[in-house]
């Protein structure tokens, strides 16, 4: 009888233990589902706040002009984008003009303000990093799912006393970044990512601000800060015809 009772007692304990595991597994699954749902909800609100996928999908070309402030030095800047194909950034300071060009296959730069005398070909790492700007929706993380990425909710945080949602993104190549979305507006305020250049990896943070709604229905940040440089855009042209020669790496004479 004692043996039978002990077996039954052990079975009862075993059943309780199994039950505990089942409850824990259910709670874990529920927690995962809630986190996934939270990410989807956060990103859906962000998408709606900046104009929706339909309006962003209509953008085929983009030209933004403004200035860049680096430690008090003002640099005129123009960014030209043929979505999915090529991007060019022109800079002018102290009578010197330079540019960077990124295409889906290669990249070039001409920087006389840094002592450059000819057009240099970018390294593969620089090209890969620069090609991210060809995906206009990617800059606002609107298409991370369709491009093979995934997102993980990291909880709440604050930026300059502004309550934010923090989300970790991993793209199809395994590159990780963390982004902060303002809870009140659903705008993207900051992205932190690692960039590899010349075999060295460094962390780069980009801060977005001064969001403006354009006539095309999209809402874009007109100010961006990264690595001590602040860019303020004054004008934006969307879907204007572009001269293909803009993306040819030639020095103007």
Give the residues across from 121 on adjacent strands.
108
- Give the Cα separation of 209 and 40 in Å (integer): 23
Query: What pLDDT, on a 0 to 100 scale, did the predictor assign at position 4?
Result: 31
Query: What pLDDT, on a 0 to 100 scale, did the predictor assign at position 126?
Result: 87
Tell me the torsion sign for CA atoms 63, 66, 67, 68. Answer: negative
pTM above 0.75, yes or no: yes
Tens of pLDDT, residue by residue over 19-62, are 555 555 544 444 555 555 589 999 999 999 999 999 999 999 99
Tens of pLDDT, residue by residue over 128-140, are 888 888 888 887 8
Q: Contact, 196 vs 129, CB < 8 A? A: yes
Query: What pLDDT, on a 0 to 100 scale, did the predictor assign at position 33?
Result: 52
Beta-strand relationship, 61-70 and 229-238:
antiparallel
- Give the Cα separation of 9 and 34 in Å (integer): 37
Residue-averaged pLDDT of the chain: 84
pLDDT at residue 3 above 70?
no
The residue-averaged pLDDT of 201-215 equals: 89
Long-range contacts of 181-185 (CB under 8 A, 24+ apart): 181/42, 181/46, 183/156, 185/49, 185/211
Tens of pLDDT, residue by residue over 62-110, are 999 999 998 888 899 999 999 999 999 999 988 899 999 999 999 999 9
Query: What pLDDT, on a 0 to 100 scale, did the predictor assign at position 28?
Result: 47
């Amino acid at each position: 009888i004692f043996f039978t009772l002990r077996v039954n007692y052990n079975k009862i304990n075993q059943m309780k233990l199994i039950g505990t595991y089942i409850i824990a597994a259910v709670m874990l699954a529920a927690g995962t589902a809630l986190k996934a749902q939270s990410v989807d909800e956060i990103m859906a609100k962000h998408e709606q706040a900046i104009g929706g996928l339909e309006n962003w999908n209509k953008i085929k070309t983009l030209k933004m002009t403004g200035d860049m402030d680096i430690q008090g030095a003002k640099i005129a800047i123009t960014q030209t984008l043929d979505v999915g194909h090529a991007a060019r950034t022109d800079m002018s300071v102290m009578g010197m003009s330079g540019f960077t060009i990124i295409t889906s296959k290669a990249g070039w730069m001409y920087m006389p303000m840094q002592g450059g005398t000819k057009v240099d070909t970018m390294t593969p790492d620089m090209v890969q990093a620069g090609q991210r700007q060809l995906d206009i929706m990617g800059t606002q993380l609107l298409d991370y799912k369709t491009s093979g990425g995934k997102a993980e909710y990291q909880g709440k945080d604050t930026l300059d006393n502004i309550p934010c949602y923090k989300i970790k993104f991993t793209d199809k190549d395994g590159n990780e970044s963390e982004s902060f979305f303002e809870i009140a507006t659903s705008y993207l305020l900051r992205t932190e990512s690692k960039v590899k250049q010349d075999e060295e990896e460094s962390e780069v943070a980009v801060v977005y601000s001064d969001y403006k709604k354009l006539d095309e229905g999209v809402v874009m940040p007109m100010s961006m800060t990264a690595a001590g440089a602040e860019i303020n855009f004054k004008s934006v042209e969307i879907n204007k015809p572009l001269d293909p020669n803009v993306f040819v790496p030639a020095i103007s004479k």
